[in-house]
Structure 1
Amino acid sequence: MRDSAGSSQSAADATRHKELRRVLLSSFIGSAIEYYDFLLYVAAASLIFGRLFFGNLTPVMATIASLGTLAVGYLSRPLGAAFFGHFGDRYGRKSVLVATLITMGISTTLIGVLPTSAQAGAWSPAALVFLRMLQGLSVGGEWGGGALMAFEHAPAHRRGFASSCSVAGGPAGTMLAAAVLGLFALLPESQFLAWGWRIPFLLSSVLVAIGFWMRIRVAESPLFIEAQRKRQVTGTMHKPPLLDVLRAPKALLAGFISMLGPFTLYSLVASFGLTYARKHGLPISSVLAIQATGAIFCAFSEVVCGYLSDRFSRHFVLLFGLASGALLAYPFLLLLASGDVLKTTVGFLLMNVFVIGPVLGPSAAYLAEQFDTHSRYTGASLGLQTASTVGAGFAPITLTSLLALNGGGYQLILAFIVIICAMSGAVIVIRANARRQRQGYTVGAVIGAPANGDHRN
């Protein structure tokens, strides 16, 4: 009997581990595909869309207008978080993830066949903005589902690592987008602008088919299934998830401010940094190759930092990343301004490894732990996506404007970065103190203690 029971337990453990591995791989690849599509647009808007879709403007205004379309995608992300979050909390994570993937694939593929402003006039940028909005809606729902599937399948002591695998799909998608776009950028400029830039967008249809096949094979979140079972047994009817989140908005507000710094730093590297490096003489292919290299290191750093957040605390890792961002912003800009490939590469590597990895690696677990299962998809997604809208959506325009306002000097940009990072860091510390006091820790134990929230189910 004992051997039989032991064998049954071992078989059950093996099944759970196999399913967890499948979920982590699916979350990583699905997220990579979504962010390939979303960040392919970021790279293209930062480097070439100004000339293609806003050619009737001056070069500076065309760049600002092109970067402004990025904000449209970020503005629609909170709407996607609320919309897809509602269905994810009510009907399950899995089906929503399939829907977001398909929406993203269709919108990205259509961008690849969109006529330029020289071919279609004002209709062209209008259609571009509409498709970018669909991309934003999709990403707004994708992050919550992908990260939460990994988070909710993992045991409590591994949730930081598990959810970071989904987060790491972001830089993996960035790497793929930059590599593919950079490959076609090696074409003669006239051919690249005529048709070469379209191919990376059209490839989205192939990637989405792969992601769809993987996502339909994973099991639904066990925590969601358990919450649904309890609801049926007790006959409890929860209010719409959005109302639950808004009735107690402290967690949502804290998540929003906590993530402002991380997303501002991310935008400094992923969007503004590309434009700035290009401005100082690097060719498009070199800029994209550098971004792809940095993304490889970023993905690795995010997973390592997710693991470290399980061993120490989410707060410690996040605060380390914010402090590093405030300190490294100035050297980063100096290295980019050199116009040298090697120095620019070093700048991107420093920021990706010591800043972006620490601030984004633990972010999914940090936000997920602020909410209960029945409203987690909505609450965590809204917290992150509202921060991404403000911190990443408008930061490229803000940073570009501050640079112009200061006559090309860095002072205003650096002051802006430091203020935003300090705001986020202060909220993280306040939130950590309050949580640890509820759990019996002293205020001084915030940073070093290995507790990571209340591990809500």
Structure 2
Amino acid sequence: MTSHPPAQRGKPRKAALAAWIGSALEYYDFFIYGTAAALVFNKIFFPDSSPAAGTLLALATFGVGYLARPIGAFVLGHIGDVFGRKRVMVHTVLLMGVATVLVGCLPTYQQIGVAAPALLVALRLLQGFSAAGEQAGANSMSLEHAPSHRRAYYTSFTLSGTQAGQILATAVFLPVAALPEEQLLSWGWRVPFWLSAVVVVVGLVIRRKLDETPVFEQEIAGGTKRAKTPLAPLFRDHWADVLRVVVASVIAAVSTIFTVYALSYAVNTVGLERSPILWVGVIANVAALITIPLWARLADRIGRKPVFIGGSLGCAALMAAYLWSLSTGHYPLIFLTGILMFGVVYSATNGIWPAFYGEMFPARVRLSGMAVGTQIGFAIAGFAPSIAEAIGGGRDGWVNVALFTAGLCVLNAVAVATGRETHRVPTEELGLKPPKTNGEAQRNAVSV
């Protein structure tokens, strides 16, 4: 066995800052699409459909982006585990920014016909491809720079950045959504997409200055034999953890249903005003900026699993309360349940999964394992708003959607419960198999 040099000291604050800012910029792009899909895309890209069918088609284009995520995970995971985490983080920001700006330049259905929604879907696929490597790259970078006893805290900044991106996306849409209908549908909806040009410049400047992780450099310097295709050892030796991450990642459906379906349900079905519902998202995400690192610090003390499972089961109950409050049209109740569910309880899962998923895998396949596992799960979650729209069916349809969401939350809790607790495992030993018994060692003496 090749001996490794002593672990180098990382730069956890710099890595966490780069992950936070990059994720904020990238997920600003991703979530302005979801907001536009819920509010305007049915009218400008599917105008010949009935209102209900147009909304369903618009939400489906949001879900299409998640189809590209597993493909992006395979490609970008390979690049990150073979060539380094930094390269992935630079390329994802560039690709996401360009694709989003181009969405804002698209002609409408009335201008070029069916080619308009076709181009919209193509650009959405590019967004999804890019997002596949963003969080896995940022999480791996933060985890491998962090001290062992604070990994959850430092990796949680990736998800805090995601929440900041949602805040920015929703905040930008607030004045846009307040425009008269004619201006909103003609040019107003394009402005948030054009502003994404900032992503290309700011993201590249920040991430190009970041050092590669000590763990990755240690593997290279130590002469560890590296697979040309990390996916081969990943699926051979860690398939159970990949499957566990896939199932656990479906918890992201809480986010997509909250940010996309609930907005559409409130505005298009119940008839509530756009601006107050958008403000629920803004305030809930502000709360999440505070609660995510707090939950992560708790997980560094007591373990990943109890915090994660508690958040999942809490979401099952509170999503029902939030959807019910929307059906009543009672704004104080809507704000209370929405902020509590998404800003506080859902943050318990968001604060933990960046560390918990990454800690399941050794460094040589970590980015691939996180990317493939999460993006398949996220792909399922991406279609949750379309499924919710299909099973919702009218003002009282929130009950079906609440039960659907609760089922996904319970499934997540079971997957997390079957995983290993990793908060006390040294970073260099993460993902390594436990020592074999004497009998097992004799049977596998010839293995490397």
Q: Normalising to structure 1: TM-score of the pair? A: 0.88
Quote the residue 1:276 is aligned against. Answer: 265
Q: Using the alignment, how far apart are the partners of 1:340 and 1:120 within structure 2?
A: 42
CA separation of 1:68 and 1:16: change in aligned 2, threshold 3 A: same
Decide whether the 8 Å contact of 2:13 with 2:154 is kept in 1: no
Decide whether the 8 Å contact of 1:314 with 1:452 is kept in 2: no
Deviation at 1:111, TM superposition (A): 0.5
Quote the residue 1:395 is aligned against. Answer: 384
| SS of equivalent residue, structure 1 residue 197 | helix
CA separation of 1:367 and 1:64: change in aligned 2, threshold 3 A: same
Could you say what the CA RMSD is over the residues aligned between the two structures, in angstroms? 1.9
Matches within 5 A, 1:37-436: 37-231=29-223, 236-248=225-237, 249-260=239-250, 262-278=251-267, 279-390=269-380, 392-404=381-393, 408-432=396-420
Q: Using the alignment, how far apart are the partners of 2:196 and 2:19 within structure 1?
A: 17
Decide whether the 8 Å contact of 1:312 with 1:451 is kept in 2: no
Q: Using the alignment, how far apart are the partners of 1:140 and 1:307 within structure 2?
A: 26
Decide whether the 8 Å contact of 1:301 with 1:352 is kept in 2: no
Q: Using the alignment, how far apart are the partners of 1:256 and 1:173 within structure 2?
A: 24
Q: Using the alignment, how far apart are the partners of 1:16 and 1:52 within structure 2?
A: 53
Deviation at 1:451, TM superposition (A): 4.1
Q: Normalising to structure 2: TM-score of the pair? A: 0.90
| SS of equivalent residue, structure 2 residue 360 | coil
Q: Using the alignment, how far apart are the partners of 1:452 and 1:416 within structure 2?
A: 35
Decide whether the 8 Å contact of 2:29 with 2:196 is kept in 1: yes
Q: Using the alignment, how far apart are the partners of 2:382 and 2:117 within structure 1?
A: 18
Q: Using the alignment, how far apart are the partners of 1:198 and 1:326 within structure 2?
A: 35
Quote the residue 1:439 is aligned against. Answer: none
Decide whether the 8 Å contact of 2:93 with 2:199 is kept in 1: no
Q: Using the alignment, how far apart are the partners of 2:205 and 2:117 within structure 1?
A: 33
Decide whether the 8 Å contact of 1:33 with 1:208 is kept in 2: no
Decide whether the 8 Å contact of 2:89 with 2:133 is kept in 1: yes
Deviation at 1:239, TM superposition (A): 4.3
Gap regions ≥5 residues in structure 2 = 1-7, 432-448
Deviation at 1:416, TM superposition (A): 2.0
CA separation of 1:407 and 1:47: change in aligned 2, threshold 3 A: closer
1:35 maps to which of 22, 27, 31: 27
Amino acid at match of 2:173: L
Deviation at 1:246, TM superposition (A): 1.4
Deviation at 1:155, TM superposition (A): 0.7
| SS of equivalent residue, structure 2 residue 232 | helix
Q: Using the alignment, how far apart are the partners of 1:357 and 1:237 within structure 2?
A: 36
Decide whether the 8 Å contact of 1:310 with 1:452 is kept in 2: no
Q: Using the alignment, how far apart are the partners of 2:426 and 2:39 within structure 1?
A: 41
Q: Using the alignment, how far apart are the partners of 1:295 and 1:179 within structure 2?
A: 11
| SS of equivalent residue, structure 2 residue 187 | helix
Question: 1:135-154, CA deviations, whole angstroms, 9 ceiling, x for partnerless residues?
Answer: 00000011111111111100
Q: Using the alignment, how far apart are the partners of 1:38 and 1:409 within structure 2?
A: 27
Decide whether the 8 Å contact of 1:74 with 1:136 is kept in 2: yes
Deviation at 1:292, TM superposition (A): 1.4
Decide whether the 8 Å contact of 1:277 with 1:344 is kept in 2: no
| SS of equivalent residue, structure 1 residue 83 | helix
Deviation at 1:48, TM superposition (A): 1.0
Decide whether the 8 Å contact of 2:77 with 2:133 is kept in 1: yes
Q: Using the alignment, how far apart are the partners of 1:229 and 1:265 within structure 2?
A: 42
Question: 1:217-267, CA deviations, whole angstroms, 9 ceiling, x for partnerless residues?
Answer: 111111111111123xx5x2424111121113101001111222x212222
Quote the residue 2:17 is aligned against. Answer: 25
Decide whether the 8 Å contact of 2:99 with 2:123 is kept in 1: yes
Decide whether the 8 Å contact of 2:261 with 2:389 is kept in 1: yes
Question: 1:386-431, CA deviations, whole angstroms, 9 ceiling, x for partnerless residues?
Answer: 11111x2111111112212x87344432332232222221221122
Question: 1:144-177, CA deviations, whole angstroms, 9 ceiling, x for partnerless residues?
Answer: 1111111110011111011100111111100000
| SS of equivalent residue, structure 1 residue 115 | coil
Decide whether the 8 Å contact of 1:324 with 1:354 is kept in 2: no
Q: Using the alignment, how far apart are the partners of 2:331 and 2:196 within structure 1?
A: 29
Gap regions ≥5 residues in structure 1 = 1-14, 437-449
Q: Using the alignment, how far apart are the partners of 1:53 and 1:66 within structure 2?
A: 8
Paired residues, number: 421
Decide whether the 8 Å contact of 1:369 with 1:453 is kept in 2: no
CA separation of 1:224 and 1:307: change in aligned 2, threshold 3 A: same
Question: 1:49-105, CA deviations, whole angstroms, 9 ceiling, x for partnerless residues?
Answer: 111111110000000000001111011111111111101100011111111100000
Q: Using the alignment, how far apart are the partners of 2:133 and 2:301 within structure 1?
A: 29
Q: Using the alignment, how far apart are the partners of 1:358 and 1:329 within structure 2?
A: 15
Deviation at 1:114, TM superposition (A): 0.5
Decide whether the 8 Å contact of 2:327 with 2:395 is kept in 1: no
Identity %: 34
Decide whether the 8 Å contact of 2:38 with 2:59 is kept in 1: yes
CA separation of 1:352 and 1:282: change in aligned 2, threshold 3 A: same
Q: Using the alignment, how far apart are the partners of 1:20 and 1:414 within structure 2?
A: 39
Deviation at 1:345, TM superposition (A): 1.7
Q: Using the alignment, how far apart are the partners of 1:79 and 1:299 within structure 2?
A: 30
Q: Using the alignment, how far apart are the partners of 1:452 and 1:312 within structure 2?
A: 13
Quote the residue 2:435 is aligned against. Answer: none
Deviation at 1:286, TM superposition (A): 2.4
